[in-house]
Amino acid sequence: MLGHPEAPGRLRTVLTSLEDAGGRWELEREAALSPEDDTLGVVRWLHDGALVERLRTASQAAPGYVDSTDNPVSSGSFRAAVAAAGIAVQTALDLVNGRLTRAFLAIRPPGHHAERDRAKGFCFFNNIALVAEVIARAWGVPVLIADYDVHHGNGTQHMFYDRGDVGYLSVHRYPFFPGTGAGDETGEGPGLGMTLNVPLAVGARDAVYASAFEAALEELANRIRPAVILLSAGFDGHQSDPVGGMGLTEEGYRRMTRAVVQASETWSEGRLISVLEGGYHPGATATSVRAHLEELAGLEDGVS
């Protein structure tokens, strides 16, 4: 929707920045996606079919909204959401089948606010939850999802809150949208202790944000010993972001990425999939993503 922060331009800026880096990464502009029906079949493992149809109908009638005014819809929203979910599912399958060990998915719309039966916070389908679900079903091993987006990933937490096979860690601004993510939200039933939230006050800078993330990641990884680590990589905590109100810089994102890479090498034989979430200042998001990828790839000039 015109003027909305979750717009195609933010992703185009990221991709242009990566292309301008001159072949430092292997970029795939188009993934070998499964047919739409196959993708939606996996989406329905986690999401209610009624949500799928509401989004399809809203896109056909666009412009408008689905579920609430924080989810504006254009004529291409359904297609974009299915494509993002399809890339997530295909990447999970590629990891399971040994075709890759580490990847970053530059996709939109984001996903970590999407709940089982409701779109929320610009998110329609929960991309990172789909990655986790495919891996958990295929391998039956513990999976850890870490999330450093400035907003708490309520949808991801709720998907796995009562499960013992997928852990969820979030470091985020609190209180803030979407209102969840208090420190006493730790899971229930078989999932008790599998959720770890670290709420931070507005304005937190690199030292506080990254230190909190590093400590929490070490704690939860030691607890669940994940065979795969996933990262909800939101860059809206950047000091230039118009939404987040935090003080992170590219160095902070390097530091947190480095911690995730080290954890994956310790626990999961380097298996790590990172998925783009928020980030609404196109320039700051692009430079932060480049710093993130330098650490994922272990490039010499990305080590500080």
Instruction: State the burial class of residue 56 (Cβ atoms within 10 Å of its Cβ: 0-12, 13-18, 19+).
Output: middle
pLDDT, tens digit (0-9, with 9 covering 90-100), for 98-112: 999 999 999 999 999
pLDDT, tens digit (0-9, with 9 covering 90-100), for 39-73: 999 999 999 999 999 999 999 999 999 999 999 99
Instruction: State the burial class of residue 9 (Cβ atoms within 10 Å of its Cβ: 0-12, 13-18, 19+).
Output: exposed
Cα–Cα dist 220/214, whole Å: 10
Q: Is residue 163 pLDDT above 90, yes or no?
A: yes
Calculate mean pLDDT across residues 261-282: 97
Buried b (16+ CB within 10 A) or exposed e, 76-103: ebbebbbbbbbbbbbbbbbbbeeeeebb
Q: Could you tell me which of 71, 10, 73 has the C-alpha nearest to residue 241?
A: 10
> Which contiguous run of DSSP H or E holds residue 114?
none
Q: Which domains does the chain have, with CATH numbers?
A: 22-302 (3.40.800.20)
Half-sphere exposure of 253 toward its Cβ, with a 13 Å CA cutoff? Answer: 32
pLDDT, tens digit (0-9, with 9 covering 90-100), for 167-221: 999 999 999 999 999 999 999 999 999 999 999 999 999 999 999 999 999 999 9
Q: Is residue 284 pLDDT above 90, yes or no?
A: yes
Catalytic residue (choose from 47, 112, 113, 151): 113
Q: Which tokens in the block code for residue 87?
A: 């890339």
Q: Could you tell me which of 282, 294, 215, 187 has the C-alpha nearest to residue 251?
A: 294
pLDDT, tens digit (0-9, with 9 covering 90-100), for 193-202: 999 999 999 9
The question of whether 113 is a catalytic residue gets the answer yes
Amino acid, single-letter form, for residue 47: H
